[in-house]
């Protein structure tokens, strides 16, 4: 089998989107930093480790004015790199979820001896993911992007003003992935820009890693590039998490542990539900997902492995997946790359 591409060294992602937007503001000396989300209410405590699956609403700071955060600066140009909104799992993970769900239904112990969360999964939880959902943007994901556009607009009314838009000052670029194109459209809706600006699909820029020889040969098609990931999957951190699973399932591969973690994060992100699957993980466990994104903290060598090739591109794919970027051009007051 072909190894999964090494995707990422950052497990922070969506939670830091706002920070990245600020980083990309081309306004002299403007720089600030936003801390990770602080979550409350009926949100699993492991949600702070959801990384790219973190809900937008958990990192939004109401009333935050990105423009005035940069005191003394007068923005002349806006560049933002934005990830797509909330979406369904991809088909690969939907199949894993299906497999895990069948295993739990057919093999896990039932009745009063079983822990309450297990009974809840068996008796109340429905496997509702279907393969056609395959990574598509959910309706809430559209709202994520519309709201983000509105927040940006209220922070930079001058830059993103109608006049600016009419003058063709905004460029929107996206990768061809459907969830990214949908995100781009929703973003423009948020700017009240149904006409005027077109969304430009530009894979040579937005999926540039695909054409980066260093990445393709060094990682994507390199059978040994992910060996540290494989070691991690069989390492002590994950063994501990799998041991918990073994109390109710005789055998669980690392991919299915990850699937359970994903169910927890997707159900919170898509449905705002505290899924019973979340209760399989302690807070310590949640720091150890099987996704390569976390592996860097365990295997630091993965970081140079990725970033030494085409740093900009690989950073793009791995760190915050800028399928959705606002980008500058020297003549435009504000431009958007999606
Ligand atoms: C944010 O700050 C900018 C610049 O100071 C200002 O023009 C804009 O009106 C502010 N937006 C809000 C919503 O306060
Ligand atoms: C494949 O990955 C291994 C392990 O990271 C690395 O040492 C090797 O140089 C890579 N091969 C190519 C062709 O880049």
Task: Give the three-class secondary structure for 137.
Answer: strand
Q: pTM for the full model? A: 0.73
Is 30 within 8 Å of 75 (Cβ atoms)?
yes
| Mean pLDDT, the chain, integer | 71
34-51: burial string, b at 16+ Cβ within 10 Å, e else: beebebeeebbebbbbbb
Which whole number is the average pLDDT over 143-172?
78
Highest mean pLDDT among 31-45, 251-265, 276-290, 309-323: 251-265
Residue with tokens 């997707």: 266
What band does 162 get if pLDDT is binned at 50, 70 and 90?
Answer: low
Residue count (the chain): 338
pLDDT computed for residue 102 by the predictor: 93
pLDDT for 21 equals: 37
Tell me, using a 6 A CB cutoff, whether residue 155 lines ligand 1: yes
**Looking at residue 55, what DSSP letter applies?**
-
Q: How far is the CA of 280 from the centre of ligand 2 (A)?
A: 36
Min mean pLDDT across 109-113, 167-171, 190-194, 293-297 is at: 293-297
C-alpha 328 chain-centroid distance? 23
- pLDDT tens figures, 215-235: 788 878 888 887 877 787 788
Summarised one tens digit per residue, pLDDT across range 266-316 is: 999 999 999 999 988 888 777 765 444 444 443 333 333 233 333 333 333
- Structure confidence by residue, pLDDT tens digits, 168-190: 677 788 889 999 999 999 988 88
Atom 10 of ligand 1, nearest CA residue = 155
Q: Active-site residue among 49, 84, 178, 192?
A: 84
User: Measured between alpha carbons, how far is 61 from 66 in angstroms, rounded to an integer?
Assistant: 10
pLDDT at 26: 30
Q: How far is CA 2 from CA 221, 229, 299, in A?
A: 7, 14, 21
For range 70-90, the mean pLDDT: 81
Q: What is the dihedral of CA 241, 245, 250, 252, to 10 degrees?
A: -60
Percent pLDDT > 90 in the chain is 21
Q: Identify the helix (H) or strand (E) that includes residue 300.
A: none
Distance, in Å, from the CA atom of 154 to the CA atom of 13, rounded to the nearest integer, reads 23
Find the angle CA(70)-CA(72)-CA(76) to the nearest 5 degrees.
75
Mean pLDDT, residues 109-114 taken together: 84
pLDDT computed for residue 120 by the predictor: 92
**CA 221, chain centre distance (Å):** 24
Per-residue pLDDT at 252 exceeds 80? no
| 139: pLDDT strictly greater than 80 | yes
User: What is the number of the ligand 1 atom nearest to the C-alpha of 63?
Assistant: 13
- The beta-carbon contacts of 113-118 under 8 Å, at least 24 apart in sequence, are 114/248, 115/248, 117/276, 117/277, 117/279, 117/280, 118/248, 118/276
Do 154 and 96 meet the contact criterion of CB atoms below 8 Å apart? no
Of residues 319 and 161, more confidently modeled: 161
Question: From the CA of 38, how far away is ligand 1's center (Å)?
Answer: 25
Q: How far is the CA of 201 from the centre of ligand 2 (A)?
A: 32
Residue that wins the pLDDT comparison between 10 and 184 = 184
pLDDT score at 292 = 44
Atom of ligand 2 at shortest range from CA of 305: 5
Q: Looking at residue 195, what is its pLDDT? A: 52
Q: What is the pLDDT of residue 276?
A: 93
Nearest ligand to residue 161 Cα = 1
State the ligand closest to the CA atom of 299. Answer: 2
20: its two tokens: 């990245």
pLDDT grade for 38, boundaries at 50, 70 and 90: very low
């Amino acid at each position: 089998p072909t190894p999964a591409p090494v995707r990422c060294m950052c497990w922070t992602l969506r939670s830091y989107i706002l920070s990245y937007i600020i980083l990309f503001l081309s306004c002299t000396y403007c720089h600030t930093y936003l801390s990770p989300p602080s979550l409350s209410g009926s949100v699993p405590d492991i949600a702070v480790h959801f990384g790219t699956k973190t809900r937008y609403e958990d990192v939004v700071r109401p009333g935050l004015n990105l423009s005035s955060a940069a005191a003394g600066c007068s923005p002349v140009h806006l560049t933002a790199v934005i990830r797509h909104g909330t979406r369904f799992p991809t088909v690969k993970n939907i199949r894993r979820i299906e497999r895990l769900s069948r295993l739990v239904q057919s093999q896990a112990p039932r009745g009063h001896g079983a822990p309450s969360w297990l009974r809840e999964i068996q008796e109340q939880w429905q496997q509702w993911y279907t393969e056609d959902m395959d990574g598509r943007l959910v309706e809430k994901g559209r709202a994520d992007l519309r709201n983000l556009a509105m927040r940006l607009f209220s922070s930079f009314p001058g830059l993103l003003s109608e006049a600016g838009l009419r003058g063709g000052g905004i460029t929107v670029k996206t990768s061809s992935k459907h969830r990214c194109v949908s995100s781009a459209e929703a973003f423009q809706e948020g700017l009240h820009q149904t006409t005027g600006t077109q969304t430009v699909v530009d894979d040579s820029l937005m999926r540039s890693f695909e054409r980066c020889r260093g990445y393709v040969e060094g990682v994507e098609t390199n059978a040994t590039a992910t060996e540290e990931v494989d070691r991690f999957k069989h390492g002590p951190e994950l063994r501990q998490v799998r041991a918990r699973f073994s109390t109710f399932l005789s055998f669980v591969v690392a991919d299915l542990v990850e699937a359970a973690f994903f169910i927890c994060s997707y159900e919170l992100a898509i449905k705002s539900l505290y899924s019973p699957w979340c209760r399989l993980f302690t807070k310590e466990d949640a720091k150890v997902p099987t996704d390569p994104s976390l592996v860097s903290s365990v295997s630091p060598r993965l970081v140079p492995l990725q970033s030494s090739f085409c740093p900009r591109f690989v950073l793009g794919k791995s760190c915050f997946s800028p399928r959705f970027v606002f980008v500058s051009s020297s003549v435009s007051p504000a431009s958007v790359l999606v």
